[in-house]
Amino acid sequence: MYRKIEEELKKWQKDFKMPLMLIGARQTGKTYILSEFCQKNFSNFIYINLDKEENICEIFKETIDPDTIIEKIEIIKNVNFNPEDTVIFLDEIQVSERAIASLKYFCESEKPYKIVCAGSLLGVKINRFKSSFPVGKVTIKYLYPMDFEEYLIALGERKLIEEIKKHYITNEAVVNSIHEKALLLYKKYLVLGGMPAVINNFINNDCDIAKVNFELQEQIITSYLADMNKYTENSESIKNMKIYNAIPKELARVNNTFKYSIVDKDARKIRYETSLEWLIASNLVIRCDLIEKNESPFKAFANPDKFKLYLSDVGLLRALSNLDYSEIMLDKNEMYKGVLTENYIACELYPHSRELYFYNFEKYEIDFLIKIDGEVIPVEVKSGRRTSSKSLNEYIAKYKPKYSIRISSKNFGLENNIKSVPLYAVFCID
């Protein structure tokens, strides 16, 4: 299945200067994408899984000199290595801090060594790197679950994508039948989320949502919880799991800013902060900070004590919430559908800048504040067709933004300087 990250990988290959590291949560497709890319674009490809090939890990314990490493890999793998046309893929590189450290020397080598690497919890590993991480010597890219546009591409809906993009620019309503088709595909995406294995299962079952093996989502969640046990101390893993499992409950609250007391009645920031940082660095959750001034740069005005947490995949949120797919497809649970919708928007917006913000003023709240072409733009989110919003109206009256965005089930349009963006067109916002 096509992923947008492929374009970034092609740029790396064309302008190659340093090793490439792909960071993302487990089962987002890192190994598959890098393997496919290496096989298609290089004459020779050497795959090494450092979690399974202990004999290769031993090399990095002995040396981090590139020439010596390559010589020993040639012997163990019985291959001839030509740096001009060969790429090495070091998978699960997080298990060897020395292997990560060696990337600096591969970058500085006079030989054009081409190294790509990936691994689960790489973000956590970088945050807790005991020696000096090779800053400026590695090209870092991030892989997220498939967004709505990638999902449409997987379904063969490229013409629909072009139609959506065209109307996003013109603000003219699409034909109602197309609008309803896109909304139905969106509802299915709320159920499925963006995990490649789940979308692939959907496609292989004739795109019949009733035939999808939803145990795949349960298995992914189980693997995440297993990682928490495997890569953290027991006390920390328990706190990690408590926070992760509490997110559906947190998001269902009227004021859904994160409260440690929802995780555990005796919880305090000082005890749980490290676990929270672990989950964010692992790319399992997305943090959305409150900003106290709607001015740029947002980060300068963020309140570190007030934030929201979203799961990195809306399908996993549905599964973790134990919400039956039929409740979404038949609009039986409007309240929690709103929770899923907000999480979906967060997942679509976050990859653009790897930051998310919301804003409070007086007694009103703006769901998201984003910057487009240097302008601060308020974003209001509605899960249905009812779009009346006192918060957005009050914001417009007080701050007079260049324009505003309202995301809902309504068709495209522009009225009172409010840009109406259908839920299926959020991928167009950049």
Does 130 lie in the same domain as 256?
no
Overall number of domains in the chain:
2
184 occurs within a structural domain: no
- Do 107 and 229 share a structural domain? no
Question: 103, exposed or middle or buried, with CB in 10 Å at 0-12, 13-18, 19+?
Answer: buried
327 CB neighbour count, 10 Å cutoff: 15
Could you tell me the two tokens for 318?
A: 């549905």
pTM of the predicted protein model:
0.94
User: Per the structure block, which two tokens stand in for 103?
Assistant: 């990337």
Q: Which domain holds residue 293?
A: 215-428
**Do 242 and 94 share a structural domain?**
no
Last residue of a domain, one of 142, 158, 176: 142
Last-in-domain residue among 90, 108, 142 = 142
Place of tokens 């007391």: 261
CA distance 426 to 349: 8
Q: In the structure encoding, which two tokens stand for residue 186, read together? A: 């969106």
Q: What is the CATH number of the domain that holds 10?
A: 3.40.50.300
Identify any residues that bridge with 376 across adjacent strands, giving them in sequence order: 371
Among residues 124, 142, 160, the one where a domain terminates is 142
Q: Which residue has the tokens 């959305």?
A: 288
132, 257: one domain: no
Query: In a 3-state reduction of DSSP, which class is residue 249?
Result: helix
SS3 content of the chain, % helix, strand, coil (to 5): 50, 20, 30
Same domain, 92 and 225: no
Note whether residue 252 is domain-resident.
yes
Q: What are phi and psi for residue 422, nearest 5 degrees?
A: -60, 155
Q: What is the pLDDT along the chain (430 residues), one digit of tens a residue?
A: 899 999 999 999 998 889 999 999 999 999 999 999 999 999 999 999 999 999 999 999 999 999 999 999 999 999 988 999 999 999 999 999 999 999 999 999 999 999 999 988 888 888 888 777 888 999 999 999 999 999 999 999 999 999 999 999 999 999 999 999 999 999 999 999 999 999 999 999 999 999 999 999 999 999 999 988 887 888 889 999 999 999 999 999 888 899 998 898 887 888 899 999 999 999 999 999 999 999 999 999 999 999 999 999 999 999 999 999 999 998 887 788 899 999 999 999 999 989 999 999 988 999 999 999 999 999 999 987 776 789 999 999 999 999 999 999 999 999 999 999 999 999 999 8
Shared domain for 118 and 264, answered yes or no, is no
Q: What one-letter code names the amino acid at 214?
A: F
Burial class (CB within 10 angstroms; exposed 0-12, middle 13-18, buried 19+) of 367: buried
Question: Do 135 and 277 have their domain in common?
Answer: no
